[in-house]
A and B are shown apart, each in its own frame.
Chain A
Amino acid sequence: MNILVPLSKVKKGASFIIRRIDDASARTQLLRFGVGEGSTAVCHERLPLGPVVVKHRRQEVALGRDLAEHIWVEQL
């Protein structure tokens, strides 16, 4: 089993697989954008103490820091 880190800790430009989203509402909303548990994505942008922008194929999604702390990813 690989180590999971919160999305908020992922460095800009790094790729990762989303393993767990600990927020039911965010989980369903993200599924509609095309990002779900098991998706591979890239950390497109990271603002100091602020949101993380995740890019999954052509789709960019901005996630508030609070939410990013509850999304667990496996870094590639």
Chain B
Amino acid sequence: MPAFLESAPESLAESPVVKSGTKLVLVGNPNVGKSAFFNHFSGLYVDVSNFPGTTVEVSHGVFKEYNVYDTPGIYGVSSFNDEERVARDTVLGADVILNVVDSTNLERDLFLTLQLIDMNFKMVVALNMMDALEDAGLEIDVNRLSVLLGVPIVEVVATKRLGFDAVEQNLAQASVGKSDRALQIEIEKIASTLSGVPNPKAEALMVLEGDDVVAARHGVAPLDKREEIYVARRNRVNDIVAEVYRQKSALKIGAKFSEALGRWTINPITGLPILLFSLWLIYQVVGVLVAQRVVGHTEVEFGNKRWEPFAKHLFAKITPVTITADILTKDETGDEKTLETKTFVFPNGTLANDAQFQELQQFIDGKDVLQTFKFSQETLWGKMVVIFAGEFGALTMTVTYLLFLLLPLIIGFYLFLAILEDCGYLPRLATMVDRLLTSIGLNGRAVIPIILGFGCVTMATITTRLLQTSREKTIAASILNFAIPCSAQLAVITALLTKAGGEYTLIFAAIILACLVGIGTAVDKILPGKSSALLIDLPPMRLPQASNVLKKTWIKTMSFMKEASPWFFFGALLVSTMQVTGLLEAWVQLFEPITTHWLALPAEAARSFVMGMVRRDFGAAGLYTLDLSPKQIVVSLTVITLFVPCIASLMVLLKERGLREAMTIWFGSWILAFTIGGGVACML
């Protein structure tokens, strides 16, 4: 039995799989509205899991007697990238296929349909977006199409939930369509030698089309008939399309506007203002509203004032501790000020001294209060407490950081990403900036991780997966982790630069931009080979569907949290351990001479740099309290921006790009940050 059949159901074991259920797989091109079908046919329970051995998500749900599987949007069943490989393996295990087709783009979509028919699957075709068809002034002879394909066809407007009942009724009539006779003879020859799979003919077609993975599973050599089969299939598609499409009238206004908008987004003269407007909007919502207002509130109110004292008090019960309570008040401008401070010492923990604990409770009762805990580190237990519940504690800082700081930001970013993706803007943006990115060895697709990097480098490093070659992934990961400041840092950088003034802001921006281009170009030159050229389908611009956008945001956010959280905990454990053992302090001291002599900065700046390894904003925030000249601000910000990625990014980098590459980037950052920083200090 091939490996994927053994491992796929196992990974989905937690879900209520209908044992004898029919495996219904949804297949379609990208952006054909397939997710609306999945939402309808997956019932209440949906689970999303990474497909074994890949980073691509597969959603699964149960609908009546069907086990329903969603697949990534693909243009054909083959192995051009990870998504296609996952879709291929999910499709190969299908009992019935529901093929979702964009009715306004049959030339493209029917290629996949015919391939699935050639694979001898029982299937139903859902002709989606019948409303857009009318706007395009087109008409489809659906009965004729059904006769030509030999499978049931249902007209659907998924966004308005029209036609889903008919799809459901037709699933029982799913049938094997009309394929090419000559091709089927060749398929049968190979299929008779393959065994142990649900649909040997489908696998035989994969072998004929030169898919080496499927061929290897069956221990046969892949054949080289792909192009010949593709050309023949393309001709069949064109013949069918010519027979069923009819141009009834001219484009309606809606379709015309969508076409014009599509054109404006690509042309730099109009596209650049559109891009700037989009970025400005993202900045206003994610950068200002979420990052400053929402996060400013959730981090302090829920994290620092509720969760952390709660967790720390649990440990304080039996650990020697000194608790300082600051009673806070808000002045007219909304800034918090300390009204009153009181320190309580518990040499044997709070349980042992109930009277004083009551006093503390009374002091803080009903007031706006911030408590600082100083656990004694004399015993091993005390050290352990600091590791888990201290300043950088895995149970305290990490929880605050993940839930109250990162989560709202990630939701904001994924929300915008989903909107931009669903309205068809992203591929056009990729086209517009392709020229710029090719100069640093990337192609237009890399614009997504780079924009996301300004939000969270950890999240952006995960999205480098969507790049096609390992070479491009390396270049993108390098740029992100060397030179792109994340939103946590940007807030502090902006504040400091305001102090330094416009001239110094320009100098800083020029230095960072030069480093970004320099690193991209250098990695591009060093790595062997050539990056892939842009080849991308531009779907029509359309209004995104709220329910789809929300669902996508939710799924992506959850998957990021699931994937990144363990690394944040691990990073916190590592740093707390370094703090407790004195390693962190040793590191700070090691860097003091370089900081004072080479960079001409105060000795305390060394601490900021080392803290930047934990959380990038820690580093930048530390600089804020120092009294720096404008020149020193530029030098220190250059160092902190080019310096090593935060501990969570490093962990994700290790996982995505491997030990050697991650370490090269990490140690390289030390060298680059101090070299460039020193250079700037000399020149300014």
Contact = CB atoms under 8 A, between A and B. Distances in A.
Would you call the interface of chain B mostly helix, strand, loop, or mixed? helix
B234 A31 contact: yes
Interface in A29-67: 29-34, 36, 44-45, 47-51, 53, 56-67
Which of B226, B227, B434, B443 has most chain A Cβ within 10 Å? B434
B267 interface: yes
Contacts of A48: 268, 435
B230 A45 contact: no
A47 B535 contact: no
A52 B665 CA distance: 35
A64 B534 CA distance: 4
Given A29-B75, A53-B538, A57-B107, A45 B266 contact: yes
Contacts of B238: 34
A48 to B, nearest CB: 7
A31 B438 contact: no
Interface string B47-80: 0000000000000000000000000000110101
Contacts of A49: 435
B586 interface: no
Contacts of A63: 533-535
Given A34-B111, A59-B105, A53 B537 contact: no
A34 B438 CA distance: 26
A27 interface: yes
A20 B231 CA distance: 14
Given A59-B107, A64-B434, A65-B435, A47 B537 contact: no
Contact of A47 (B112, B427, B431): B431
A32 B535 contact: no
Contacts of B430: 62
A58 B80 contact: no
B449 interface: no
A10 interface: no
Contacts of B230: 28, 31-32
Contact of B266 (A36, A53, A66, A67): A53
Interface residues of A, number: 32
A5 interface: no
A30 B611 CA distance: 50
B534 A67 contact: yes
A28 B431 CA distance: 21
B80 A51 contact: no
B439 to A, nearest CB: 10
A50 B535 contact: no
Contacts of A4: none
Nearest to B427: A62
Contacts of B111: 31-32, 34
Contacts of A51: 431, 434-435, 444, 534
A32 B76 contact: yes
B349 to A, nearest CB: 66
Contacts of A28: 78, 226-227, 230
Given A29-B75, A47-B266, A58-B136, A65 B535 contact: no
A26 B532 CA distance: 10
Contacts of A44: 263
B231 A31 contact: yes
A73 to B, nearest CB: 16
B374 interface: no
A56 to B, nearest CB: 7
Contacts of B80: 25, 29
Contact of B535 (A30, A36, A56): A30
Contacts of A53: 266, 431, 538
Contact of A59 (B78, B108, B434): B108
Interface centre among B428, B430, B444, B536 (most CB of A within 10 A): B536
B649 interface: no
Contacts of B427: 62
B436 to A, nearest CB: 8
B75 A58 contact: no
A51 B267 CA distance: 11
Nearest to B80: A29
A49 B432 CA distance: 11
A56 B22 CA distance: 39
B267 A61 contact: no
B237 interface: yes
A60 B262 contact: yes
Most buried by A among B75, B80, B105, B108: B108
Interface string A11-22: 000000000000
A33 B104 contact: no
A61 B434 CA distance: 14
A36 B591 CA distance: 61
A67 B534 CA distance: 8
Contacts of A61: 535-538
Given A29-B75, A50-B435, A62 B536 contact: yes
A22 B438 CA distance: 20
Contacts of A60: 262, 537-538
Nearest to A61: B537
B435 A47 contact: yes
A47 B434 contact: yes
A31 B107 CA distance: 10
Nearest to A55: B538
A45 B271 CA distance: 12
Contacts of B534: 51, 62-64, 67
A66 B438 contact: yes
B452 to A, nearest CB: 21
A66 B435 contact: no
A28 B435 CA distance: 24
A61 B534 CA distance: 10
B435 A62 contact: no
Nearest to A29: B535
A45 B231 contact: no
Given A60-B538, A62-B534, A64-B533, 14 more contacts: A28-B227, A29-B75, A31-B227, A34-B111, A34-B237, A47-B267, A47-B432, A50-B434, A53-B431, A57-B107, A58-B136, A62-B444, A64-B444, A64-B534
30 contacts: A26-B535, A28-B230, A29-B75, A31-B230, A33-B75, A33-B537, A34-B108, A36-B231, A44-B263, A47-B266, A47-B267, A47-B268, A47-B434, A47-B435, A48-B268, A50-B435, A51-B431, A51-B434, A51-B534, A58-B136, A59-B107, A59-B108, A62-B434, A62-B535, A62-B538, A64-B434, A64-B438, A64-B534, A65-B435, A66-B533
Interface of B: 75-76, 78, 80, 104-105, 107-108, 111-112, 136, 226-227, 230-231, 234, 237-238, 262-263, 266-268, 427-428, 430-432, 434-435, 438, 443-444, 533-538, 540
